[in-house]
Structure formats: C-alpha cells, structure tokens
C-alpha cells in the first residue's frame, strides 16, 4: 500500500486507505497511540472497544487510555490493517489481520480520537459526534 494514496470520502464515512500498514509502535500517556508504518498515527483518548473474532466466542475488552488500562492493546503490535473507517458520526473503526476490531466512538465532551498522516491529513472526532478533517493547509468539516 502506498501512503501517498489519499483517503476517500463517501456520504457517511471516509475510507482511510491504511490497508496493509502494520502497527509499528504502541505508546501510552493519557492516550493510546498506534503508529502505522512510518507515516500514520492513530491517537485514542476515549474508551476503546477491542474485540477479537465473534462476540459470542470472545467478549470485547474496554480499553481506557485515560487510566492507562490498555494492556490488551499490546496484542495489536505487528498487526496489519485490513480496513480503517472514520465515520462522519465521529466513530473510528479499525479491522486488523489478527482478527481484532478496534472501535472508538465519539465523546459528548471532548475529542475522542484523531488520525494523522502524510500530506497534512488529519481526522478528528469532535465532541458530540461529528468529524473534522484537514488536508494540507485547508481545513474542512463535514
């Protein structure tokens, strides 16, 4: 996958074109940060639902970056992205080749997550459930 490919906008979501990128670093402070390849970063500040396989066989785990309760996220190291979608409702969903699904919903009071990449791309889940995005020096909101 080329990191030069731009994200693609649809009516209700953005396809982030991160397919094939590996989680190369995981860091924690008040956020859970996943570095994808060498150019993209996913920073999660709100609670994150991490699931694996079917919900029936494997219940999901709630990761809480604010309290550094994110140990289950270590299983994502080295995983490759199959799908990355930023919904215009403010929810982010990543699907990884390990069978893990990571979902971060919007928060009513603060920015729940952001994804940044080359070319000035930045996607931010706004308080209350909206999505802001930037490319280069132009700012947009949808």
CA count, 13 A, side-chain hemisphere, 92: 29
> CA–CA separation, 125 vs 14, rounded Å?
12
Mean pLDDT computed over every residue of the chain: 90
What residue ranges do the domains of the chain occupy?
8-141
37-66: pLDDT as tens digits = 999 999 999 999 999 976 556 778 999 999
> CA–CA separation, 54 vs 100, rounded Å?
10
Query: What does DSSP assign to residue 7?
Result: P
Tokens of 34: 């996943």
122-135: pLDDT as tens digits = 999 999 999 999 98
Residue 58's pLDDT is: 72
Whether pLDDT at 1 is above 50 = no
Task: Give the pLDDT band of residue 119 (cuts 50, 70, 90).
Answer: confident
Distances (CA, A) of 24 to 1, 53, 62, 80: 15, 22, 22, 9
């Amino acid at each position: 996958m080329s990191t030069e490919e731009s994200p693609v906008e649809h009516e209700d979501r953005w396809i982030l074109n991160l397919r094939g990128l590996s989680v190369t670093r995981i860091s924690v402070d008040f956020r859970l940060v996943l570095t994808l390849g060498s150019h993209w970063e996913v920073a999660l500040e709100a609670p994150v639902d991490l699931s694996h396989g079917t919900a029936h066989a494997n219940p999901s785990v709630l990761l809480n970056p604010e309290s550094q309760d994110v140990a289950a996220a270590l299983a994502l190291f080295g995983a490759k992205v199959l799908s990355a979608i930023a919904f215009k409702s403010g929810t982010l969903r990543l699907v990884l080749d390990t069978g893990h699904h990571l979902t971060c919903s919007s928060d009513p009071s603060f920015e729940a997550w952001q994804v940044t990449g080359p070319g000035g791309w930045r996607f931010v889940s706004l308080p209350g459930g909206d999505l802001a995005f930037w490319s280069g020096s132009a700012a947009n909101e949808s």
